[in-house]
């Protein structure tokens, strides 16, 4: 069974750094892209970026380029989303999701990681 398990919720202060994770299991982690999606409180889904763990090829939405860093470690079948300096506006639920090969949709999703940034 394909599973994406995300790290737990975080409460941080503005200016702090953060790295959240997404661990894949039940499939060859190196052969599927992993995407990250933001959902701000009461708002819609926003695509942030995507990484191919096989060769670490990474693409970003223009809206998030330079604001976050997406990475992965295929040795521990885990993808990451990180911030160097959080803002209150980063408060949101963040989902990782697996992109189906040769298609552009996500067939499996993590449970979400709630990030709260507050002074």
Partner 1 sequence: HSALTQPHSVSGSPGQSVTISCTGTSSDVGGYNYVSWYQQHPGKAPKVMIYDVTKRPSGVPDRFSGSKSGNTASLTISGLQAEDGADYYCCSYAGSFPLVFGGGTKLTVL
Q: Name the minimum Å distance from CB 26 to partner 1.
A: 16
**Residue 112 touching partner 1 (CB under 8 A):** yes
Residues 6, 112: contact at Cβ < 8 Å?
yes
Nearer CB in complex with partner 1: 61/71: 61
Residues 109, 24: contact at Cβ < 8 Å?
no
- Exposure string of 64-94, with b = 16+ CB inside 10 Å and e = fewer, is beebbebebebeebbbbbebeebeeebbbbb
Nearer CB in complex with partner 1: 54/109: 109
Contact track, partner 1, 1-40, x by CB under 8 A:
----------------------------------x-x---
**Residue 103 touching partner 1 (CB under 8 A):** yes
Rounded Cα distance, 18 and 77, in Å: 19
Query: Which residues in the 34-93 window bind partner 1 by CB under 8 A?
Result: 35, 37, 44-47, 50, 59, 61-62
């Amino acid at each position: 069974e394909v599973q994406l398990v995300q790290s737990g919720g975080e409460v941080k202060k503005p200016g702090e750094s953060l790295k959240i994770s997404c661990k894949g299991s039940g499939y060859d982690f190196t052969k599927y892209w992993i995407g990250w999606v933001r959902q701000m409180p009461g708002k819609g889904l926003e695509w942030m970026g995507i990484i191919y763990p096989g060769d670490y090829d990474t693409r970003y939405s223009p809206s998030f380029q330079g604001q976050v860093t997406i990475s992965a470690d295929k040795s521990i079948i885990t993808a990451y989303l990180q911030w160097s300096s959080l803002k209150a506006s980063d408060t949101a639920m963040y989902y990782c999701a697996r992109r189906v090969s040769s298609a552009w949709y996500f067939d499996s999703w993590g449970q979400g990681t709630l990030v709260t940034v507050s002074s």
